[in-house]
Structure 1
Amino acid sequence: MSARAQEIGARVAAFVRQVVVPYERDPRRSAHGPSDELVAELRERARAAGVLTPHILPDGSHLSQRETAYVLRQSGLSPLGPLAVNTAAPDEGNMYLLGKVGTPEQKRRFLDPLVRGEARSAFFMTEPAVDGGAGSDPSMMQTTAVLDGNHWVVNGRKAFITGAEGARVGIVMAKSDDGACMFLVDLPDPAITIERVLDTIDSSMAGGHAVVRIENLRVPADQMLGHSGEGLKYAQVRLAPARLSHCMRWLGACVRANEIATDYTNRRHAFGKPLIDHEGVGFMLADNLIDLKQAELMIDWCADVLDAGEPGGTESSMTKVAVSEALMRVADRCVQVMGGTGVTGDTIVKQVFREVRAFRIYDGPTEVHKWSLAKKIKRDWKERQK
């Protein structure tokens, strides 16, 4: 790991542990995530500490994916950490996409406020599966975009749109005659209505996850991101690193949960000795160390692939499956070894368990990634037969 990443990561870890962790009991946290007031307060403290948006350097360049992995893991040591230091989803992925695809004017208008931590964003891709829309398959997208003069008119519905409530920047995916497109929009917009914020198992992301209706949204032609019909390509530019950064953040959360479980089992006595000395408990914590290290190595491997300039779709799918499943095991064991305390709000272990359970679905369920990998296995086999 580079010296600069170690230095940045150490400052982020210290800030999260010393400043952010005490906010974990703040009443401004709800089932739909921390309030915007709380997010603004945390970001102001991060700005003062010099750790706001730590993965983007002052000249606008990014840390490498390997370096980002180290820094984002430190930000994840608290469920509030990524929001506090501005490395949270969907903003982190949206910043990455805008940095890669946006025009200079689009970056000035839409990216710069995100980097400064002055605004939140939302990525409008997923659609309600009950309407036959694009759940985990964006090729099924039903939202349409029709060119009318120098504007595009967008209509459709979206679901599970993280952070839509309270966002100021939106990236909307829709389908033109050319194929999938992406549009940059200022939020709120009267043509975009939040029908409801879903009651989900997780609660760490500001604004929660919304179902949204888009009716005759008029977007100036110069606010299309890239070119008409290339939206699926841009989605892959965003999604491969975004899957990986999810893994980074939740690895940090599970490291912290394991620290709490370890402390608990060393202090708690039962049947004449500390819990840690009971093999059934000690072995679970040993398994946690193995899973955490394997998750870390998978993340670093995938980061190296992306840093080498490869698309990384296959590698990010493999990593997302392996890491989300491993971290689910870690979080589950932390709850189990802590017994009744593990299912209470006395520590963040309960929340980490719930967040990681959702992570197994968000950015593609495990089964969708395995299906994609199986298709690649078949394609590769056919190529070898030629």
Structure 2
Amino acid sequence: MYQRHTSEIVLSALDAQAAVVLLGPRQVGKTTLALEIGEQRPSVYLDLQRDADRQILTEADLYLNEQVGKLVILDEVQQMPDLFKNLRGQIDMRRRKGSRTGQFLLLGSASNVLLHQSAESLAGRVRYIEMPPLLLDEVGKDRLNDLWLRGGFPDSFRANSNRASMTWREDFLRTYLERDIPSLGPRIPATTLRRFWTMLAHAQGGLLNASALAEGLGVSGQTVARYLDLLVDLMLVRRLQPWHENAGKRLVKSPKVFVRDSGLVHALLGLGSLESLLGHPVIGGSWEGFCIETLIAAAPTGTEPFFYRTAAGAELDLVLRLPGNGIWAIEIKRTTAPKVSRGFHLAVEDIKADRKMLVYAGDQEVPTGDDLRAMPLAAAVSMLRNL
């Protein structure tokens, strides 16, 4: 078992809010975390994928009235969208009786679907928290290459061998394509969506080129946008938006697209060992995406991530706008030679960054002049955690 940072965040939120929505893709560890929290206080747990548990909530208010004083944990809550109205009434009723915090912990694996369902019903009564896969400072920096290769889904990372890990990820992809996505409503052929997902993995970290993707799949640009929206909503793909505040510059306006878990990138491309990954053209994009997801997860709540690129060649792999408007400029390189290009320095000047760093594959922090520090990923994570 690993101590998850999300656990502390959820416990703190339950002390401040009536309801907490914990979001994340399937198999990321939400249920395990919720059950651990449930062991620390009176609680009940219902899995709304199970017919028997949904049946219990046929008369939701009658059942929930009996659970006053307990933490009610509802897993896969998007399966019963009508339930949110009942939850609003329950929260308001309990507020009138003096109970304002720690009443409901809702787990969901489709972000925008769940947010739309709950936005109006639970406005002002709920906090949303996203749970990422396992992170570097949760498993230890000595496991960096394993985490990069296998990804952060706990069952994949903890598998007995690289082959067993790859088998788990293949099963995960198949289950999502054949069962989970159809259960949300979209009627998309599994083979088509698999091809689309694989195309994104090949172009990991590249600018979104919807017309090229559409041509490769033989579908329309609108269809590509729908596929991409779906994978983003399921928290399996990230659209990293470009920085847009320099009106005098010709900025790139297309987002970058990343498959969020590096292990899924490698499974989609059939890369089952570190040796095969190191010899593949995707290595740079894979490392960049892995670092970006790790750094975003370590940043303080409310941090906004971007990338920066101009037509003149100024470029930053990651820009973090921290709460309070501090701006960090981050370059990411899969190299042991800590050097940045002239374009990095131009970009730092453009966005007026407060801090600049190079995350590289070495294991020592190295000052390189101009207030730029080169550091391993673990050190950059530690800096963000300590803000």
- TM (norm. structure 1) is 0.25
Q: Which has the higher helix share?
A: 1
- TM (norm. structure 2) is 0.25
